[in-house]
Structure 1
Amino acid sequence: MRRGPERKGIEHVEDAERHGRPLSVFILWFASNLTIADYALGSVLYGLPLPWIYAIIVGVNVAAGALLGAAAAMGPRFGLPQMAISERIFGRIANKAFATAQWLSTIGWFSVNTVIATLALLQILDMPYWAGALVTVAVMAVVGIYGHDAVHGFERAMSVVLGAMFVILSYAAVRAASAALPHYQASPSPFVAAMAIASVFSYLASWAPYASDYSRYLPEGTSRWRIAVYAMVGGAAASAWIELIGTAIYVAAGNPSLDMMSATVDVVGRAWAPAVMIAIFLGGLAANALNLYSNSVSAQAISARFRRIYAAAAGAAIGYGLSVLGGMYVSFTSFYEGFLLLLDYWIMPWAGVLIAAVYARRRGGAREAIISYVLGMAASTPFMNLTPYGVQYVGPVAAALGGADLSYFVSFAVAIAAYLLLDRMVGHDPGGLY
């Protein structure tokens, strides 16, 4: 492990700099998904029959985890962060759009998580909001500036601390939910199930543009299969576990309209409230360690003139400003969350092209990649429902499905198919980036 801040940015990691074990990938994705975002999905799943809930949580997280694993497995071979690998496929100019989207997404989620973590902190400590947000951001700024190894070290610590706290919360939640089960009103609604599937999938899958940022330092000969499995199991296991706890909390509370903090305190009791707030606070930090580091790497993918250390410091400062604004105006935070969720639509067709280019062993050019991306996005438009994010648009297919948004799956599949077809039409030889 290096001493001092990481100097490398998006440059290729040389053999002499490689270090680490595949298990570190499991730990990182496990800890970073012990968060409030997974926990809050319990309100979305509430109301479905329990077998449906179990099937959705387990099956969908495995599918989303497989995407995360496939992206993470690219790291050791290329020795590059995810946005730099993307540049090899989409070309330098087009990739700047994806890097910008990733920069906006990471800085946005950093600020939203800071708001949530700070509000939890203020339930424990008596201090002004701006001071609590400053403490929250300062911790993450140190981790982000020190870089890759500091992020892995922080997540190792969080995997133990948060893991222990959620074990205790699991016991309390399951016990309370068991007592409430006789009164649970289940409705087998395919429309609600489709919405739940999209919500559960989108959370874990949205980590894909971060994935190789945290595996690129592993030795080049590291088994890609092991990395993919470790990332998939780490992310899927944590997400499924926390979503099950969140669902149990809402089953026990019997009211999905409650916010997550209120529902938890109502169920486990006031005596547990400090422990719950600490878990929420630390969960926000665990996710933000990745948000800030990947934000700094994305900044370099936009322009190599940005040094990673300074980009991390600037990201922390911007994130702090946005979090203070969000803390002052709750409506701003709600609007901003909607904007960020809307922004995530770029990920799935991008991931489809990335997977096809790398794993189907094709050598299509940037033109084929861009066309495939556009086709994937266009084909998914009728399946979109943007009203939850403040945009009054419901595609005809989504409307026929009662508002269920399946566009993520459509854009991913169409982008893969289009890329493979275009690659064959232009006559590129197989061989791939691998």
Structure 2
Amino acid sequence: MTRERIGADEFVDVSTQPETRGIEVIGDAERHGRARDLFFVWAAPGVSILNFTIGATLILLGLEIWQAVAVILVAALLWVFPGIIAASGPASGTSGSVVTRAMYGIIGNKLFVAFVGWFIGAVFLALTWLASSFMGADLLRRVGLSDPVWVPIGVTIVVSAVTIAVAIFGHALILRIYPVMAVLLFVIFVGVSLFILPTVNWGYTAAHPLSGIALWSAITVGFTILASSPLSFINSPDLARYLPRSTKPSHIAAATALGGALPFVVFTIVGVLLATGLKSGAFSAGIDVALFDLLPGWMGPLLVIGVIVNTIALNAMTAYSSSMSLQAIGFKLKRIPAAIIVGVVGTALTIYLVLSSSLLEAANLLLQFLVVVSGPAMAIFVVDVIRRRNVYDGLDLFDDRRGGRFWYTGGWSIPGITALAIGGIATALCLSTDVWTGALSAAIGHIDLSVPVGMTVSALLYALLSRTRLGKEGRL
């Protein structure tokens, strides 16, 4: 195995041409950028109507305003995890879906990427396209286009086409347009927030204040929903991998974490405040409809534009990473055709959800179930970065021969696979949703400890097993 085999043909990372590079290792001579560029890459997807939706959910769960804000602030701390693993991108010069070969083995990683990478990618593509489909369709309904089936499907197809186009142009275009998108989104959503503030019931108290087990159940369920966002971004190395190898990991972590956390905190709190001024019937109609009713006529179209821009920002990033996941699985595809396949799959799932769900129902259910895989996977990745001191060699990661460094036991890393599986089971046992309550959660009054328990179990198992013969690497 030589470095020439894993490097790409000469490629210039510019925003005016599609990015043909996929998971190939980026040479030091081709590295560019600064850690602070990542702040806007993560801020643009974070200025989202989903934050309004999740914030409103905390009030629906029965929390007081101060309790909801406290849960949001604690959940925001989890953004440090995508920041920590992002540094593995520049260290290795390749995508996170290849770096995880160090955790799961050459063959085991294919299963991990196929399930975790695709599952998370497909859910987030569908969930955010769903938001723009509902709101775009509602706006068109107000001007006379009211077909309940074809209008949202049409909005979905148009938005998804633009999203995949951004993913095809790739890294350089993302770096160039995301700062503009972040500023535009911030202005629109601050404007929306200003119209929400007069409706806020600052003296709000829950109709039936919670205490004891019921209170802790609501707090922990809300925390799980909130935690699913930062824990799902296991793709953070993909956006950082072009940075020079000398870039400080602490700077990468700070830019990534702050870019994701700040809009997450601000606009989720706005969602909490929004919910205090709405009647219970407004929730059944949907947060998107409730927002339209609060805003003056001229502001409604601006909000839809904001939702669509945010959708493109989040899903272009997701589709970009998912296209490289297909390559990491082993499909003989260039990155651009892979991105198109991702778009087709995500569009189909979105159309299904458009015809069968409300935004609030889909968001809460999917976000809770995401942590079953995303929490343990994130914990394992963070432990691996720390124990290796962020040292990853691209040549070793691409050496897929029997006996290679990351071949482990028949191509499988027993520590990684075991920690992921048992951590996922522990998460499921502690999860509490409307359609599934784990045995441990039920035993303690529907308190949802899925995130801390699942991540702790996975982290400890992986750290301990990696120190045994089961974690022995080849050619050391």
TM-score (norm 1): 0.89
Counterparts of 2:171 and 2:18, CA distance in 1: 9
**Alignment deviations for residues 183-231 of structure 1 (CA, whole Å, 9 cap, x no partner):** 5437342221111111111122211x21111000111110100110111
The reply to whether residue 375 of structure 1 matches residue 417 of structure 2 is no
Amino acid across the alignment from 1:218: L
Counterparts of 2:362 and 2:247, CA distance in 1: 43
Alignment correspondent of 1:348: 375
- Per-residue deviation, 1:311: 0.6
Structure 2 unmatched runs, 5+: 1-12, 390-404
Alignment correspondent of 2:300: 273
Closer, same or farther: CA 229–317 of 1 in aligned 2, 3 Å: same
Counterparts of 1:163 and 1:336, CA distance in 2: 22
Counterparts of 2:362 and 2:56, CA distance in 1: 19
TM-score (norm 2): 0.81
The reply to whether residue 404 of structure 1 matches residue 425 of structure 2 is no
Counterparts of 2:32 and 2:378, CA distance in 1: 27
Alignment correspondent of 1:100: 114
Alignment correspondent of 2:322: 295
Alignment correspondent of 1:194: 220
- Per-residue deviation, 1:418: 1.4
The answer to whether the 8 A contact 2:372-2:428 is kept is no
Closer, same or farther: CA 300–251 of 1 in aligned 2, 3 Å: same
2:104 aligned to which of 86, 90, 93: 90
The answer to whether the 8 A contact 1:191-1:401 is kept is no
The answer to whether the 8 A contact 2:53-2:360 is kept is no
- Per-residue deviation, 1:103: 1.6
Amino acid across the alignment from 1:265: F
Closer, same or farther: CA 112–380 of 1 in aligned 2, 3 Å: closer
Amino acid across the alignment from 1:26: F
Alignment correspondent of 2:254: 229
Q: Which has the higher helix share?
A: 1
The answer to whether the 8 A contact 2:42-2:260 is kept is yes
- Per-residue deviation, 1:254: 4.0
SS of the residue aligned with 1:112?
helix
**Alignment deviations for residues 238-274 of structure 1 (CA, whole Å, 9 cap, x no partner):** 1111101111111121437342112223334555322
Counterparts of 2:46 and 2:92, CA distance in 1: 25
The answer to whether the 8 A contact 1:34-1:242 is kept is yes
- Per-residue deviation, 1:330: 3.9
Counterparts of 2:296 and 2:206, CA distance in 1: 23
SS of the residue aligned with 2:245?
coil
Structure 1 unmatched runs, 5+: none
The answer to whether the 8 A contact 1:117-1:285 is kept is no
Q: How many residues align?
A: 423
The reply to whether residue 314 of structure 1 matches residue 357 of structure 2 is no
- Per-residue deviation, 1:148: 1.4
Counterparts of 2:127 and 2:465, CA distance in 1: 40
SS of the residue aligned with 2:241?
coil
- Per-residue deviation, 1:237: 0.6
Counterparts of 2:293 and 2:186, CA distance in 1: 22
Alignment correspondent of 1:174: 197
The alignment yields a C-alpha RMSD, in angstroms, of 2.8
Counterparts of 2:254 and 2:355, CA distance in 1: 42
Counterparts of 1:339 and 1:42, CA distance in 2: 16
- Per-residue deviation, 1:339: 5.9
The answer to whether the 8 A contact 1:103-1:295 is kept is yes
Alignment correspondent of 1:69: 83
**Alignment deviations for residues 133-160 of structure 1 (CA, whole Å, 9 cap, x no partner):** 2321221121011111222233222101
- Per-residue deviation, 1:333: 11
After alignment, is 292-301 or 247-256 more displaced? 247-256
**Alignment deviations for residues 35-88 of structure 1 (CA, whole Å, 9 cap, x no partner):** 1222211222113222222211112112x1111111212211111211111112
